[in-house]
Structure 1
């Protein structure tokens, strides 16, 4: 499940980013734990304390009867991490850590209506830091304290829910607050012990980040390695018991520059593997760093875009982000109920929302795609449910939603997509969003189709979006149902045969239903985008896979442009180009 603590986005605003793993996690620094078999001490203690709480909570006291909880669960993330970062040829951070956090969920009332109803969903959750050692008494005491605190929160919230129901209008969706699921047992072997040659990687990162000293106009850079070995444990009063291992290695390269007119520009590159040994070799990474720095030089010199409304091609990576933001978030189950949600596609099941040649599935059971590791892979979700492939759209027709254990009308059960960061209540979230097409053409033919469509519309050029960094989607009904996607590399493709022209400052905007029906054709190769997605249940790793897309109409606007000029003082050594090896950009 990989429930690493990261950053949070507000409810109703969901976003995707490549570089979120550079932000600090809540970490307790300690020596890495030794190799271990299945942690029976931890799991046995969790089970024993859970059953003791279920049999003891709820009684008749001085204040009258207190209801017993009908559901209780403990979810523990137990992980070792190595994080190394370098800038301009020097190490800025190098840490090894062991962290262990528990989410305690208490539900009072009944599945039809409990303390999580409506705006009180987070009342079920209490998060605590667990002891790092397998001390049964210490673990039990920590869980006991958190359970008592959680039970008190649940009682208060349940009383408020009952009060709210007396004064508010009837809800459109009267589905229960919690689904009924069969108990699951899935005790997978724990994650392999963390093994990283920190000294060797520090040397490699120093070399990679040091390359940027050859490019004086790059005023910020970082090369960061994060390797994690994590096992997530889950037990519930229903009898579910799971242990899910995950091990990931990410190398992120980020560089920033500033154009003469004050516009900040950046490029990034992320590499993922199951462990550090399977990341690209140093020669490959050196070439990537130089390419990234040179692309920033080209962007600085590129003209600023003008607002545009016309045909465009999105590369496979760009199309993957586009589908994640424009479609994926609106197919998450919880967005189909509640007074605040826009419910874009709630009543569209069985209706066409995409061209008939497009199908979309979410399949977290896939660990790789054509040899590329997928960040959104997991075996069990954060509610202990088995991961499932969900066919969301078949031949353009909406078929299903991404479901946690929060039911919605006509969808009463989880399909294994209840996901959350530590410290957040699980909601329906994307894992590996896979877009496929039955109307594919070669890249060359797609380009010619772009020119023909631009000419037909009287445009001098169409746009080609080569790379995209991130985006966000607004799903609440109090705001316009819109999305924004931030491209990094955009070209004008001229109909008269002139060479493609790189432009900067482009932002893709629009509304989902209009944008999705304008897809004319797709390329014949699918590409992968791995990133970190933030929403109301926290920041989680996700992937999206899609072919390049030709759209008949896309709307762009200028990005916000800063007023600060580039650095006035030259960087150290710029007065003597020989000292940096290359001189300038």
Structure 2
């Protein structure tokens, strides 16, 4: 019986492989890309500077955007675009056209990267489609040869690079194919969602002091194709839905006061119902009314607690960008020479894992199986027991890190560079929130402070990773900040706080972390475009942070409130 069972399993697996191979062979777009890539590579070998590597990346992107403000639909738009982006590498793996420019593609006068658009009915390989691909390949090839000549000149006149790594690394040939997304998973009732979002945003009409009150839905169905001249073929799908809710008021002194909330799911059916969002919208109004009359703070240095979502953004901005491999080729290179050294307390672990679909009970936006260079995604243990171990790598190597670990990412027409995915911060010695709060009070007393700060919610941030003092800094924008007084007074909401500093200084002041992880979902914009990311972290205690007063708007709030709507 055991033997028959094994034979049955083997037959099932064999049938699955046959079906998958058949579906792959019937994918007309995949076959077209493979044929054109081979033909174009062969044709370009006749040129004076023949390419040594080429790849095609195609995005079949269907996106629905619906937005509502104060109970009225502002936009209901559906787009379906199939776009092609070639990459051509001229020279060799030691010195090529990307050597001094991570973004090897040519931007237009507005800074946007060019894409060749394939008509949705042209997947059969019509002459027009093939001609469009060849035209774009030649455009990219001409720019690649110019960049290669510049790179050769620069290599002769520049001082020797500190990093001796090649321009491009070897990678395994990958074969991965997902069948097209079923129609039922692409279906969306736009009219029903307009009604639902209008019900939610109508809540904001109840407060005349609001400057804005919006709810929006983004539903995306993305199918990507990647083929290269090494033989890699990767076809994969991604669907997600995200609702964003935002509202803002203006204080009497002109300060803008925004609050945001979002809900993320892989499928529309897993988003919360209107009742939950309406309740959250009402809470948002009440928080804004309190924030509007909160005192404005002065610059501060001292201890602080960062909530899980706040510390997630904090780690993403001041640490995550500085472990992206391509940034370590130039600029400030904050952590480049700290591999093997403590960068955090020994209890801390930090890793990036794009293969995680969920964490702490929430679905993650940074999930994928293969990156935008066709490399298999994998977990990268960046910090282990407080010690820096690895960086996030694409196929652009660094000294000591010669291989990709599946973190090459892009969107639109840009070329992939190393980017974050799902950044996770954990501690092996977690504290309860009550313990962290008590430790904050003790540290404030020790430093002679009247209070410490609690950063409950932040909206975003930016970081500068270039060379020089101010070019190696960060700025995180909090939305809700509280003073926690050492004499036992109730916590006090304050406004006008910006969290600033330099990463090494800030990291050296992290003390410990909490026992409850939180997830912050968003999109990160950098050189290669906006990519979906997630940051998860527990609450953390920092014994010294630095804040500055936020710049105020010069516009005062309206004299009259908004008209009421019945």
The reply to whether TM is greater than 0.5 is: yes
1:540: which partner in 2? 531
Structure 1 residue corresponding to 2:460, chosen from 464, 470, 477: 470
Supply the distance in 1 between the matched residues of 2:467 and 2:287 (Cα, whole angstroms): 39
Equivalence map 1:201-220=2 (5 Å): 201-220=193-212
Q: Verify the 8 A CA contact 1:363 1:432 in the aligned structure 2.
A: yes
1:161: which partner in 2? 151
1:136: which partner in 2? 125
1:43: which partner in 2? 30
Deviation of 1:491 (Å):
0.4
Instruction: Find the residue that maps to 2:312 and give its secondary structure.
Output: helix
Q: Which moved more, 1:121-130 or 1:211-220?
A: 121-130
Supply the distance in 2 between the matched residues of 1:290 and 1:349 (Cα, whole angstroms): 48
User: Are residue 387 (structure 1) and residue 377 (structure 2) matched?
Assistant: yes
User: Are residue 517 (structure 1) and residue 508 (structure 2) matched?
Assistant: yes
Equivalence map 1:342-361=2 (5 Å): 342-361=332-351
Supply the distance in 1 between the matched residues of 2:302 and 2:446 (Cα, whole angstroms): 10
Structure 1 residue corresponding to 2:274, chosen from 282, 286, 295: 282
Q: Which moved more, 1:225-234 or 1:182-191?
A: 182-191
Equivalence map 1:107-186=2 (5 Å): 107-119=89-101, 121-123=103-105, 127-133=115-121, 134-137=123-126, 138-186=128-176
Instruction: Find the residue that maps to 1:174 and give its secondary structure.
Output: coil
Q: Verify the 8 A CA contact 1:262 1:562 in the aligned structure 2.
A: yes
2:555: which partner in 1? 564
Supply the distance in 1 between the matched residues of 2:181 and 2:402 (Cα, whole angstroms): 33
Supply the distance in 1 between the matched residues of 2:417 and 2:62 (Cα, whole angstroms): 26
Equivalence map 1:172-251=2 (5 Å): 172-193=162-183, 194-251=186-243
Q: Verify the 8 A CA contact 1:190 1:243 in the aligned structure 2.
A: no
Could you report, residue by residue, the CA deviation over 1:197-250 in whole angstroms, capped at 9, with x for unpaired residues? 111111111111111110111111221001011111000001000011100000
Deviation of 1:166 (Å):
2.4
Deviation of 1:69 (Å):
0.8
Deviation of 1:344 (Å):
0.5
Structure 2 residue corresponding to 1:271, chosen from 257, 263, 275: 263
Could you report, residue by residue, the CA deviation over 1:546-579 in whole angstroms, capped at 9, with x for unpaired residues? 0000111111111111121101233122xxxxx5
Q: Verify the 8 A CA contact 1:123 1:157 in the aligned structure 2.
A: no
Equivalence map 1:21-100=2 (5 Å): 40-59=27-46, 66-100=48-82
1:312: which partner in 2? 304
Supply the distance in 2 between the matched residues of 1:314 and 1:383 (Cα, whole angstroms): 36
Structure 2 gaps, min length 5 = 1-22, 107-112
Supply the distance in 2 between the matched residues of 1:119 and 1:435 (Cα, whole angstroms): 31
Q: Verify the 8 A CA contact 1:115 1:121 in the aligned structure 2.
A: no
Supply the distance in 2 between the matched residues of 1:123 and 1:285 (Cα, whole angstroms): 42
Equivalence map 1:404-415=2 (5 Å): 404-415=394-405
Could you report, residue by residue, the CA deviation over 1:357-389 in whole angstroms, capped at 9, with x for unpaired residues? 111000000011132110111111000001100
Deviation of 1:192 (Å):
3.6
Supply the distance in 2 between the matched residues of 1:335 and 1:295 (Cα, whole angstroms): 39
Instruction: Find the residue that maps to 1:525 and give its secondary structure.
Output: coil
Instruction: Find the residue that maps to 2:311 and give its secondary structure.
Output: helix
Give the TM-score normalised by the residue count of structure 2.
0.92
Supply the distance in 2 between the matched residues of 1:523 and 1:192 (Cα, whole angstroms): 42
Pick the structure with more helix per residue. Answer: 2
Could you report, residue by residue, the CA deviation over 1:60-81 in whole angstroms, capped at 9, with x for unpaired residues? xxxxx61211111000010212
Instruction: Say what the alpha-carbon RMSD is for the aligned residues.
Output: 1.4
Supply the distance in 1 between the matched residues of 2:446 and 2:363 (Cα, whole angstroms): 41
Q: Verify the 8 A CA contact 1:82 1:94 in the aligned structure 2.
A: yes
Instruction: Find the residue that maps to 1:255 and give its secondary structure.
Output: strand
Could you report, residue by residue, the CA deviation over 1:108-161 in whole angstroms, capped at 9, with x for unpaired residues? 111111111103742478521221122411332221111111111111221222
Supply the distance in 1 between the matched residues of 2:280 and 2:257 (Cα, whole angstroms): 17
Go from structure 1 to structure 2 and tell me whether the alpha carbon gap of 1:202 and 1:120 turns closer, same or farther (over 3 Å shift): closer
Could you report, residue by residue, the CA deviation over 1:440-468 in whole angstroms, capped at 9, with x for unpaired residues? 11111111111111111111111111111
Deviation of 1:396 (Å):
0.7
1:403: which partner in 2? 393
1:4: which partner in 2? none
- Give aligned pairs, total: 532
Equivalence map 1:569-580=2 (5 Å): 569-573=560-564
1:484: which partner in 2? 475
2:356: which partner in 1? 366
Q: Verify the 8 A CA contact 1:405 1:414 in the aligned structure 2.
A: yes
2:19: which partner in 1? none
1:441: which partner in 2? 431
Supply the distance in 1 between the matched residues of 2:201 and 2:414 (Cα, whole angstroms): 35
Go from structure 1 to structure 2 and tell me whether the alpha carbon gap of 1:431 and 1:120 turns closer, same or farther (over 3 Å shift): closer
Could you report, residue by residue, the CA deviation over 1:21-63 in whole angstroms, capped at 9, with x for unpaired residues? xxxxxxxxxxxxxxxx76711110000000001111132xxxx
Supply the distance in 2 between the matched residues of 1:237 and 1:58 (Cα, whole angstroms): 13
Q: Which moved more, 1:148-157 or 1:161-170?
A: 161-170
1:334: which partner in 2? 326
Give the TM-score normalised by the residue count of structure 1.
0.89
Q: Verify the 8 A CA contact 1:192 1:247 in the aligned structure 2.
A: no
1:303: which partner in 2? 295
